[in-house]
Amino acid sequence: MHVVGPRAPGEVSNPAKPAYRVLVIDDDDCVGAAIKVTLARRNGETELASRAYAGIEALESSRFDVVLVDLFMPGMSGLDAISYIRRQSGIPIIAMSGFRLRDSRNSIDYLGMAMQRGASACICKPFAPQQLIEAIDRSFLLASSTTGSMQ
Amino acid sequence: MTKGISNADQADEMKIGYPSVERARAANEVGAAIAHALNGPLTALLLYVSDLNQNSDRFPAGDSDGQSLKQVAENALRETERVCFLMQRIADAFETPLQEETAIAQGREVIRWLARVGEDGESVEHATPVAQEPLTAREREVLRLVIEGCTNKEGGKRLQISYRTFESHRAHLMRKLGAKNAVDLLKLALLMPETLSDTPPTDATSIKAVQA
């Protein structure tokens, strides 16, 4: 249903070979654990990092197809992590943030800032599996349209 | 707490009925802190319950009561979605003209401290969440000077402010960045040069100005 090339996160029948690798950078481990279960059903392999530095190290030492970054973490913030990752590579980045950080009159538009710093898509917590899949699809689509082919 | 809080449906009235700015701020912080503390677990819950529902065809058929697991999973999803919606409303209800992001940051800070102290030996200082508050222009100047190796006295002189003021800016920006010492600041500056530069969208006002 959301097929975008070979690594599309839609339902795939053969779970033996992960179709795409996902890194979740979030200090709240329960979020990453749930994302892992959700994506495993769709042939995705998920790894977790609970700090931005650890996530950046993981990105440098291993290949991932997409990275999800929580905006608010102790240590290096998600926004700064996005800037740093974007300088290093064209990997699709999805920014995640919580309640209240969506557009509202007086609030700072963190997701807008994330997009400005190079995020490919953003998603507000709490999100349903469908929203997660769609955000990943969007980020893949954007990556394939801006860089030609992402192999 | 006031009687307004007893009924979520009166959330809109509460905004008008605040007796004082202090109370508004307190309510704002509590609401934002609760919403933020529950954000992660609610996200996980919604994903898990959705997963159960999407795989409910594997559940055994209903028992003699006619209460199938499938139905239970559907109910669980509906209630989870309702909690998410209510939480969003609780968070939104506390909107005041005050610095809400600061309130969120402070509230979250308190909860994280409480949650982390003693956990895997992390100290309170280490657990301090950071960098949600952008540095001010002055703090960026101070950061640049600290990285150049200026002492508080030298830095104060160069910015024509007292060394105590310089020291206070320095303490403030270190707290914001979660740096424990000058080495942390240096690492940070190497990894994130934009922290030091004047032009990037490190603060919200600059973004709003650009967008306006």
Q: Which domains does chain A have, with CATH numbers?
A: 20-145 (3.40.50.2300)
Share of chain B above pLDDT 90, in %: 12
**Closest Cα of chain A to B132: distance in Å?**
6
B102 and B172 in a single domain? The answer is no
pLDDT digits (tens, 9 = 90+) for B69-91: 888 889 999 999 988 888 877 77
The residue ranges of chain A whose pLDDT is under 50 are: 1-7, 11-13, 15, 101-106, 148-151
Judged by CB atoms closer than 8 Å, whether chains meet at B207 and A113 is answered as yes
Confidence band (pLDDT; 50, 70, 90) for B116? very low
Q: Is B17 among the domain residues?
A: yes
Q: Higher pLDDT residue, B212 or B136?
A: B136
Whether residues A77 and B132 touch (CB distance < 8 A) is answered with yes
B53 domain residue, yes or no = yes
CB A32 within 8 A of CB A24: yes
Q: Is the pLDDT of residue B101 over 80?
A: no
- Note the pLDDT of residue A109: 74
Domain C-terminal end among B83, B114, B145: B114
Q: Which domain holds residue B181?
A: 133-200
Q: Which two tokens stand for residue B11?
A: 């959330």
Determine, yes or no, domain membership for B126.
Answer: no
Same domain, yes or no: B26 and B70: yes
What's the gap in Å between the CA of A5 and the closest CA on chain B? 24
Q: Give the per-residue pLDDT at B71.
A: 85
Give a yes or no: residue B207 inside a domain.
no
Cβ atoms of A104 and B97 within 8 Å: the answer is no
Shared-domain flag, residues B169 and B96: no
- Say if the Cβ atoms of B44 and A129 lie within 8 Å: no
Q: Residue B28: what pLDDT?
A: 64
A30 touches chain B (CB under 8 A): yes
Does B152 lie in the same domain as B51? Answer: no
- Checking if the pLDDT of B99 tops 60, the result is no
Q: Does this model's pTM top 0.80?
A: no
Domain of residue B151, CATH code: 1.10.10.10
Looking at the structure, tell me whether residues B55 and B148 fall in a common domain: no
- Are B96 and B143 part of one and the same domain? no
Same domain, B26 and B94: yes
Q: Which residues of B89-119 are buried (b: 16+ CB within 10 A; e: fewer)?
A: bbbbbbbbeeebbebbbbbbbebbeeebeee
Comparing CB atoms, the residue among B40, B46, B194 nearest residue A83 is B194
Does B123 reside within a domain?
no
Q: Do B62 and B156 reside in the same domain of the chain?
A: no
Q: Which residues of B touch A98 (CB under 8 A)?
A: 35-36, 39-40
Q: Kindly indicate the confidence band of residue B137, based on its pLDDT and cuts at 50, 70 and 90.
A: confident
B179 in a structural domain: yes
By residue count, chain A amounts to 151
Residue B91 lies in a domain: yes
Same domain membership, residue B29 and residue B108: yes
Best residue of B25, B43, B110 to probe chain A, by most A CBs closer than 10 Å: B43
Test B129 with A72 for CB contact under 8 angstroms.
yes
| Model confidence band, residue B92 (pLDDT cutoffs 50, 70, 90) | low
- pLDDT over 80 at B7, yes or no: no
**Which pLDDT score is estimated for A143?**
79
* The most confident of A28-37, B8-17, B183-192, by mean pLDDT: A28-37
Model confidence pLDDT, tens digit, residues B38-52? 889 999 999 999 999
C-beta atoms of A129 and B47 within 8 A: yes
Mean pLDDT for the stretch of residues B116-131: 40
Asked whether residue B10 falls in the same domain as residue B107, the answer is: yes
Average pLDDT of chain B, as a whole number: 68
Domains in chain B, number: 2
Distance CA B138, CA B100 (A): 22
Closest A-chain CA to B127? A74
- Last residue of some domain: B81, B114, B147? B114
Contact between A128 and B46 using a beta-carbon 8 Å cutoff: yes
User: Is pLDDT at B128 greater than 50 in this prediction?
Assistant: no
What's the CA gap between B73 and A110, in Å, rounded? 34
Q: Are residues B155 and B77 in the same domain?
A: no
What's the pLDDT score for residue A92?
96
**Hey, are the CB atoms on A77 and B54 less than 8 Å from each other?**
no
pLDDT at residue A120, as a whole number: 93
Residue B203 region, left (φ>0) first, then alpha (ψ -120 to 50), else beta?
A: beta
Q: Which of B86, B114, B142 is the last residue of a domain?
A: B114
Pick from B48, B92, B127: CB nearest A37? B48
The answer to whether the CB atoms of A100 and B41 lie below 8 A apart is no
Residues B12 and B63 in one domain: yes
Strand partners, A124: A97
B120 occurs within a structural domain: no
